[in-house]
Structure 1
Amino acid sequence: MTTGKINVSVENIFPLIKKFLYNDHEIFLRELVSNGTDATLKLKHLTSIGEAKVEYGNPIIEVKIDKEGKKLHIIDQGLGMTADEVEKYINQVAFSGAEEFLDKYKDSAKDSGIIGHFGLGFYSAFMVAEKVEIITKSFKDEPAAHWTCDGSPEFSLTAHDKTDRGTEIILHIAEDSLEFLEEFKIRELLNKYNKFMPIPIKFGTKKETLPLPDGAAEDAKPEEIEVDNIINNPNPAWTKQPVDLTDEDYKKFYHELYPMQFEEPLFNIHLNVDYPFNLTGILYFPKMSADLQMQKDKIQLYQNQVYVTDNVEGIVPEFLGMLKGVIDSPDIPLNVSRSGLQADSNVKKISNYITRKVADKLKALFNENREDFEKKWNDIKIVLEYGMLSEPKFYEKAGDFVLYPSVDDKYYTLAELKDAIKENQTDKDGKLVVLYASNKESQHGYIEIAKEKGYEVLVLDSPIVSHLIQKLEGDNEKMTFTRVDSDHIDNLIKKEETQISKLSDDEKENLKTVVEAIVPKPTYSVQMEALDSNAAPFIITQPEFMRRMKEMSQTGGGGMFGMGNMPEMYNLVVNTNSELATTILKNEDKSAQESLVKQALDLAKISQGLLKGEELTAFVKRSFELIK
């Protein structure tokens, strides 16, 4: 029997591990199963190159609960350890066996999938266990070893009668961690962290019904047998080549990743690169909502099929954080708890690669089936528009596939849009004026006015459209965007003909004085305009610049302008060619005149969604009085 002290630099290494090294105690199971996987993959590699003269077979990792004995067992059939190796790899904290193995076999082991990096993973066991045992038998022809430690630097190492190859870790679960003796808890952790480990993981057994043989009697009952319950999928879709997968395979894997997601993904992007770094994965475009925050943290990060985190900030470009799927790379540097990223040049390269790959895929989808791409546009546009704002490399490629839909369901690229509107939508400076609606329903009246004039109106209704417009205008000097209900329709754009007012200049001044005395100041700036007689008598517009700055301040861009609390300011355009304008002007009853103006103003407010609360109640009451 050997006894001694574990070679650590401080006496209280275990309390430090328990309190600080790992901020999430549950990852102990991930680390121990990962160690078992490493041991198995190492053996597979050594047998493949002839250094291990043993039969590899079909090894599994088994996790067992002994609730009565308050023990948790993790058993592998890997290469095992000799007593000397236990001394070297277990008693010298932070000496990494995986690192040494990779260094020794760095050329032949390049693609062996060895997971371990830090040598501290085993000691995470002491976060939940008051005592840990290792019973291990090497693939070499040497006696088995039995190591025991109670959480202090003291250990014992004795011979053991174990005859089968591999390692068994026995955790004597501490009183404050008894939840890890519950079957549902262990199943939850295995599903979370080890669902796609490359070695089959057994957790309990399940009943399986055998098919009846040919010619069996009608009343024969099928036989039920107990079989291993393999809880993981060792060969997930992202580890395969795209040519070996069908659309159905991709959809099936999507629902394996997200069992509670019932909608099908719109399409997927398979990532597969081995130079200048290793990275595989599958990204899915789900249907998107306008809530950017709710969509984030849906991509899962793996390292050689070991789950690490769903916080992929820094690895995946921010705008793609709204997608779903998997990224797996052994080249992503992690700290000892596998839960955070360190600064590394590979990270930026990976992010740039993913950006380029996604852009290329979108362009291909657009070119291959534009009609289908247009049908999916509303479900993916928020991601692409966000990408244009946040990733310069994506913005450079976006012109090939980003679409600008019209209110009549026509879809333009930016280049196509410029050609479509260049004839009749220019301002006095020769700029192309792109009219757009942010809400087809509430801005319907304004859209109709614009369409009557022969103008093309786009639908740009995402919450970040104001920011996107600023960028597009900055990069296209001869183009300006104006919302369809802003102060553009008769001032900004050149008209082929000018409406003649039915009212004289003096009458228009008198009417303006009457209206200004009734409408609230300074919220409304009253303007007299000679519009078509069929147009609405009162039209509320908003100065384009002020409205856009206000929108930007509400979506995170206003702080830099100091416009977080901008006042509401509108233009009230009075159509001097409307019958109502003449009626108001000619009416000598001041009370009736005031009622007409208030009613017309409220109707204009309704068209803009501005009538609420007490004002809406008063409008309804006044309307009923009028129809009496």
Structure 2
Amino acid sequence: MADQDLNNGEKLGFEAEVSRLLHMMVHSVYSDREIFLRELISNASDACDKLRYEAQSDAALMSGGDFSIDLTADKNEKRLIIADNGIGMNRDDLIANLGTIARSGTAGFMDKLTGDSKQDVQLIGQFGVGFYSVFMVADHVTVTSRKAGDTAAWTWESTGEGSYTVKEAEKTEAGTEITLTLKEDAVEFLDKYRLNQVIKTYSDHIAIPINLTTEETTPGAEGEDDKVELVTETVNEGQAIWTRSKGDVTDEQHEEFYRHVSHAFDSPAHTMHYRVEGMQAYSVLMYIPTNQPQDLFDPARKNRVKLYVKRVYITDDSQDILPSYLRFMRGVVDSEDLPLNVSREMLQNNPTLKRMSGAITKKVLGELDKMSEKDAEKFETIWSAFGAVIKEGIYEDFERRDQIIKMARFKSTHSESLTSLDAYIDRMKEGQESLYYISGADVNALKKSPQLEGFKKKGVEVLLLEDAVDDFWLQMMPQYEGKTFKSITKGGSDLADIKSDSTDDETSEDKVPEGDLTTLITCIKEVLGDKVGDVKTTDRLVGTAACLVADENAMDMHMERLLKAHNQLEDSQKKNLEINPSHDLIKKLADKAKESGALETLADPILLLLDQATILEGDPLDDPSAFAKRLSTSMANGLV
């Protein structure tokens, strides 16, 4: 709730996550507090870029002259002022941007904070809340802003302690001015040389002049007072980094530009910096992050590569620069061929942008492909972070499907390392015709699946697919190099056709005789009725009595669970119950099935057998209460 005070403005409380974050900022000490300045300058640069773009279609928005970012250090008042003449904010913008953590996927933000200053600072950037780093150095913050095209200005004010105030203000031009009243232990950030050092380190690449105004004292002549005057100088080089030659940019400069363009605190795992000349001319400076961006799995699947035309910012929200499955890329594409007044609407289906996008996509995939062959360790690190989204391309991008699946890496039962499909094929057993896989949400749970038992015993490798997209691309690409993908949780196991690694005589196992099995299966079918599709024996189980398996022509069980979870499937398909003829429980049930009155005697044990198989699949029981009663009865009988 907001408190209205006509003199002091409107007082509002911070969103819960912001309050906790600010408490941490105010009461914690960070060794690298200087990053607050990088964040404020980066935000100011973005604001100028946005206004430059908007002014392409409405020149009247440009009323403040050339763009600049101006810093003023006031040692007497212990204040640092950061001002820009960019797009500005209105009242609603101030509340949305400074009162809440607005980015999607941030509900669990504070739960991820560790108390380790280095890790937490990285998270702050990852979640897009870098503005709040000002409270590491300031005990009072005032933000006065006027949005381009508006006549009204607004002030946002807070001490970082649970609430903030918004009120009307006066400002002659569009833009934003942030005033920090610094803490006693942060006055170093009023020193000219300290500020120069921070700006040069973090923001030298900003393509907008960063002007620093400080007081300089000149000793007066004998008998005269010292002369104090304000001196302004431009601190940054101000050249767009992507326009420089590749060899002229250091790793440190790439790291800081990456952090600027991505608002992240990690370092890039890989850098792509090149220029294309010819029928089309454009520059590309893009990075593969080390850590997953927080919005990586947001349903909107937006790209965050910034599009410029002749160094003029156009958008960071174009879905036409890269396909959605490469949305983790961060950086800049600067075209010489698109018109400066191009609108976001005009970008859609623009043939020039389409050709450029195709070439850049090919380049990114080519870099990844080359890395997979020449730097396997680096590639596996990148794949572990972004493979789940790159595989969306197998499903969506028919033109590049073969290239993506060839570089794809998977977990498997072979080892802890990732494997390619080509390496899997090289290890296939004699008599093996399929690429076996099992899919689910948790690879650790998959490793314990009963359906794996027979494959492990024969030394047959099984791919462990834990990403939701796996079940979808498999529908689009059922084969690879002439080998069919086959789920081990549906249809027959094919294990009888595959030569075993084991030297054990598999035929010597003590199994239930065929006739007794037929009697037991008939009994099970009578008890379960339409609860299952069929009841069969299996060679896929070793230490488990029974499991559920989808029919050969049915949907994979994990795929079914995914669709039901998203309300895209109403009714479940009936599963087949497969029983292990070598298991002691099945042997005892087979003996009981031959006795008179077996249907009545075995009703509860058979239902428990189905319940057990259902639980092993991670599915909910139809009637937990009945299960509990049957289990209690069975335990009581066993104790007699």
Q: Same fold (TM over 0.5)?
A: yes
Cα displacement string for residues 83-112 of structure 1 (whole angstroms, at most 9, x for unaligned residues): xxxxxxxxxxxxxxxxxxxxxxxxxxxxxx
CA distance in 2, matches of 1:567, 1:300: 45
Task: State yes or no: 1:308 paired with 2:314.
Answer: yes
Question: 1:200–1:230: 8 Å Cα contact kept in structure 2?
Answer: yes
Match of 1:187 among 166, 176, 180: 176
* Of 460, 464, 469, the match for 2:474: 469
Q: Which residue of 2 aligns with 1:348?
A: 354
SS at match of 1:521: helix
Percent identity, please. 22
Larger Rg: 1
Counterparts in 2 of 1:291 and 1:257: CA distance versus 1, 3 Å: same
SS of the residue corresponding to residue 546 of structure 1 reads: coil
**Residue from 226, 245, 248 that aligns with 2:249:** 245
Q: How do residues 98-177 of structure 1 correspond to structure 2 at under 5 angstroms?
A: 175=151
Q: Which residue of 1 aligns with 2:104?
A: none
**1:538 maps to 2:546:** yes
Q: Residue type of the partner of 1:581?
A: I
Match of 2:422 in 1: 415
Q: Secondary structure at the match of 1:362?
A: helix
For residues 228-260 of structure 1, give each alpha carbon's deviation from its aligned partner in whole angstroms, at most 9, with x where no partner exists: 59799833432323323344332222221233x
How far apart are the structure 2 equivalents of 1:448 and 1:383? 30
Counterparts of 2:84 and 2:584 in 1: how far apart (Å)?
A: 87
State the Cα deviation string for residues 331-360 of structure 1 (Å, max 9, x = none): 234655566415443222101111121122
Q: For 1:15-164, list aligned pairs within 5 A.
A: 30=53, 61=67
Q: Secondary structure at the match of 1:598?
A: helix
Residues 403, 412 of structure 1: 8 Å contact kept:
yes
Distance 1:231 1:255, change over 3 A: farther
Determine the C-alpha separation between the residues in 1 that align with 2:499 and 2:152.
Answer: 79
Cα distance in 2, alignment partners of residues 627 and 314 from structure 1: 63
Consecutive unaligned residues in structure 1, runs of 5 or more: 1-23, 40-58, 65-72, 76-120, 122-170, 214-222
1:245-292 per-residue CA deviation (whole Å, 9 max, x = no partner) reads: 344332222221233x34444323234212221222333333448736
Q: Do the aligned residues in 1 keep the contact of 2:528 with 2:607 (CA within 8 Å)?
A: yes
1:450 aligns with 2:452: no
Please name the residue that 1:360 is paired with: 366
> 1:597 aligned to 2:606?
yes
CA drift of 1:225 comes to 7.5
Structure 1 residue 456: Cα displacement: 0.8
Once structures 1 and 2 are overlaid, which stretch shifts more, 486-495 or 345-354? 486-495
Alignment partners' CA distance in 2, 1:224 and 1:501 = 99
Is the Cα–Cα contact under 8 Å of residues 532 and 577 in structure 2 kept in the other structure? no
Q: Deviations over 1:421-453 (max 9, x none)?
A: 1x3352xxxx33433444433332333431111
Q: Give the alignment partner of residue 327 of structure 2, picking from 311, 321, 325.
A: 321
Check whether the contact 1:314–1:351 (CA below 8 A) recurs between aligned residues.
yes
Give the TM-score normalised by the residue count of structure 1: 0.60
Residue 517 in structure 1 maps to residue 526 in structure 2: yes
- Code of the aligned partner of 1:404: F
Q: SS of the counterpart of 1:328?
A: strand
Superposed CA RMSD in Å reads 4.8
Sort the Cα spacing of 1:309 and 1:489 in 2 relative to 1 into closer, same or farther, 3 A. same
Is the Cα–Cα contact under 8 Å of residues 208 and 226 in structure 1 kept in the other structure?
Answer: yes
For 1:485-507, what per-residue CA distance to the aligned partner results, in whole angstroms no more than 9, with x for missing partners? 33332568546656767333332
CA distance in 1, matches of 2:377, 2:334: 33
Aligned pairs (5 A) from 1:207-218: 207=214
CA drift at 1:185:
7.4
CA distance in 1, matches of 2:605, 2:326: 53
Spell out the pairing of 1:426-445 with structure 2 (5 A cutoff). 426=432, 431-438=433-440, 439-443=442-446, 444=448, 445=450
Alpha carbons of structure 1 residues 233 and 479: separation in structure 2 relative to 1, 3 Å: farther
Counterpart CA distance in 2 for 1:424 and 1:348 is 47
1:283 to 283, 286, 289: 286
TM-score normalised to structure 2 length: 0.59
Runs of 4+ in 1 over 6 A off after TM superposition: 33-36, 176-180, 194-197, 229-233
| Uncovered stretches (5+) of structure 2, i.e. residues with no partner | 1-46, 71-82, 88-146, 155-167, 179-202, 220-226, 501-505
- Alpha-carbon spacing, 1:418–1:180, altered in 2? closer, same or farther (3 Å): farther
Contact in 1 for aligned 2:563/2:569 (Cα 8 Å) = no
Distance 1:622 1:402 in 2: 47
Closer, same or farther in 2 for the Cα pair 1:188/1:337, shift >3 Å? farther
Select between 339-348 and 453-462 the one with higher mean Cα deviation: 339-348
Asked whether the 8 Å contact 1:180–1:186 carries over to 2, the reply is no
SS of corresponding position for 1:276:
coil
How far apart are the structure 2 equivalents of 1:386 and 1:465?
A: 8
Kindly state the Cα deviation for residue 419 of structure 1 after the two structures are TM-superposed: 1.5
2:575 corresponds to 1:570: yes
Contact 1:298 1:323 in 2 (8 A): yes
Q: Is the 8 A contact 2:271 2:286 kept in 1?
A: yes
Equivalent residue, structure 1, for 2:486: 482
**CA displacement at 1:585 relative to structure 2:** 3.2
Contact 1:442 1:609 survives alignment (8 Å): no
CA deviations over 1:199-241 (Å, ceiling 9, x no partner): 5265xx654799x99xxxxxxxxx9975559799833432323
1:620: how far off? 4.7
Tell me, what secondary structure is at the counterpart of 1:249?
A: helix
For residue 372 of structure 1, what is the aligned residue in structure 2?
Answer: 378
Matched, 1:267 2:267: no
Q: CA deviation at 1:581?
A: 1.5
Q: Verify: 1:255 aligned to 2:259, yes or no.
A: yes
Could you tell me how far apart the structure 1 residues matched to 2:149 and 2:475 are? 59
